[in-house]
Every structure is written in structure tokens, then in C-alpha cells.
Amino acid sequence: MASERKVIQGEDIIIVIDGKPTLHATTHSLKVDLELKELRTKNTNGKEKCAGDISWSADGDGLVVIDPEITEHLTAEEVLDLVLSKTEVEVMLKAPLQGLTKNYKGKGFVTSFSLSTPAGDNSTYNYSITGSGDLAAATKA
């Protein structure tokens, strides 16, 4: 029997900060970069490369919503407070969907926050997290 192919939807993968997803998130992204170092000696004609450090960052966007009934999510204001307090946070890229085998976690800092309040449209916010140390695969519980 052939396996069934499934396209993963954006709602199936979220970023969690200190155990809480951000309230009314609309977009999350993760970026991982591998630094390449040059190796060149007097005996080589060209530049060789070797693997260096890995850096990572995560970004999120959401709608600004005030709902005192919802306490299991971070509000836009709480995300801003993380920047202002210079607090290191636990970050997890979480895929609750079955079939995705790993989550990814690390520590980092919320390094930017932006609020957009256009007339006649929804207020939105976005933030960036810069990783501090490793981003490691974590098996799902």
C-alpha cells in the first residue's frame, strides 16, 4: 500500500516561548545558518571550506487582541516586556501534528518587537528571537 502524502499547513507548526504560544499568531518562521570558514594554505590553489558555528533565529507575527479569558498564550504586550527586560527565554518550534517526528528547542532573546496600527485595519505585531547557544532536536513527548 502506498503511503499517503500530506502537505503540512502553517497552523501545524508553531513557536512557543517559555511554554506559551503567542496570542493570535499568524506567521512563524525559523532560520538556521551554518558559517563556513575558509581554509587556505600556501599549498592550495583554491579556497576550501569547513563547517563553523551555527546561528539561528525565529520570527513571529500576530494580531493584537485583548482577551482576559485567554491566559495560556503570550500577549503582544508580554512579548514587548521580554525585550524591555532583556530576559533569556526558552524557545521551541513545535509541530503538534502526528507524522512530524521532532520539535526543536533552544534558548534565546527576543531582540526586536514592532507594532503596526493602521487606520481602518487590524493592529498587528511582530517579533524576532535571536538564538543563544544550540538549537537542538527534541523528541516529542
Distance CA 92, CA 121 (A): 31
**Residues constituting the chain:** 141
Give the pLDDT score at 7: 75
pLDDT, tens digit (0-9, with 9 covering 90-100), for 8-59:
777 778 889 999 999 899 999 999 999 999 888 888 788 888 999 999 999 9
Strand order in the sheet with 20-21: 20-21, 14-17, 88-94, 102-116, 124-139, 48-63, 25-39
3-state secondary structure (DSSP) of residue 79: helix
Domain 11-36+50-139: assigned CATH number? 2.30.110.20
At 60-103, the pLDDT tens digits run: 999 998 888 888 999 999 999 999 999 999 999 887 666 667 88
Q: Which of 88, 66, 89 is nearest to 76 (CA)?
A: 66
**pLDDT at 127 (0 to 100):** 96
> Strand 88-94 vs strand 14-17: parallel, antiparallel, or unpaired?
antiparallel
Q: Which three cell numbers stand for residue 24?
A: 493570535
Give residue 59's pLDDT: 95
